[in-house]
Chain A
Amino acid sequence: DAGVTQSPTHLIKTRGQQVTLRCSPISGHKSVSWYQQVLGQGPQFIFQYYEKEERGRGNFPDRFSARQFPNYSSELNVNALLLGDSALYLCASSFDGAGEAFFGQGTRLTVV
């Protein structure tokens, strides 16, 4: 079975631009969470979606938004990019959000 897939793998954007990151969870999993990991730190929670509903939101500005589609895939959008948004963005898949969470390889976003 395929694991969690994220696209694209790498991205370079200019300050002020907008970016959309995509995630497909493990087949049968209904929950997708997004995390931001800056160099040298553990991942920080951004959003969790379960059955297409937002279940939780971390301490991130409104420039960050997400959604989950009927097939349980998800998109993370970031508007008005700042240099500080440069990070590895990780998607985690779990059956119901409370159990074991499996991560994709991440999207490395560089803002210049």
Chain B
Amino acid sequence: QKEVEQDPGPLSVPEGAIVSLNCTYSNSAFQYFMWYRQYSRKGPELLMYTYSSGNKEDGRFTAQVDKSSKYISLFIRDSQPSDSATYLCAMIEGSNYKLTFGKGTLLTVNP
């Protein structure tokens, strides 16, 4: 079992839809959780960073962490064509500073 599992997608939605992206993890030592957006052939861009269970909102983006279920989500409201990208979840243990990534979900928002 991989440490981080991410819904493979691809995901295609109409403009204005609410998008839900999810990851599960098996390592209970993960303490910090991030979501990155990666456009084709570019470096990942940090969208959200959180370290506690619950919700964190930033504009159209909401990150949700449920440590008891080892499950994290990213919600995108009022999705736009410019949101079309690959979304990567990533996690860090408290004592091990490496980022462990999911495989990524390719999202397409259709005008």
In Å, the complex CA distance between A97 and B17 comes to 36
User: Which of A35, A50, A88 is in CB contact (< 8 Å) with B99?
Assistant: A35
Contacts of B101 in A (CB 8 A): 42-44
Closest Cβ of chain A to B97, distance in Å, is 4
In Å, the complex CA distance between A108 and B41 comes to 8
Q: Are B98 and A48 in contact (CB under 8 A)?
A: yes
B45 at the A/B interface (Cβ < 8 Å)? yes
How many residues in A have their beta carbons less than 8 Å from beta carbons of B?
30
Contacts of B43 in A (CB 8 A): 4, 6, 88, 90, 103-106
User: Which of A58, A99, A104 is in CB contact (< 8 Å) with B98?
Assistant: A58
B77 at the A/B interface (Cβ < 8 Å)? no
Within 8 A of A (CB), among B16-60: 32, 34, 36, 41-46, 49
Closest Cβ of chain B to A101, distance in Å, is 6
A residues near B (Cβ < 8 Å) are: 4, 6, 31, 33, 35, 40-45, 48, 50, 55-56, 58, 88, 90, 92, 97-106, 108
- Complex A-B: 7 CB contacts under 8 Å: A4-B43, A33-B97, A42-B101, A56-B96, A92-B99, A98-B92, A101-B46
Known A33-B99, A50-B97, A90-B43; further 5 A-B contacts with Cβ < 8 A: A41-B103, A42-B4, A43-B88, A88-B41, A104-B43
Q: Are B98 and A45 in contact (CB under 8 A)?
A: yes
Q: Are A106 and B42 in contact (CB under 8 A)?
A: yes
In Å, the complex CA distance between A97 and B44 comes to 17
Contacts of A48 in B (CB 8 A): 97-98
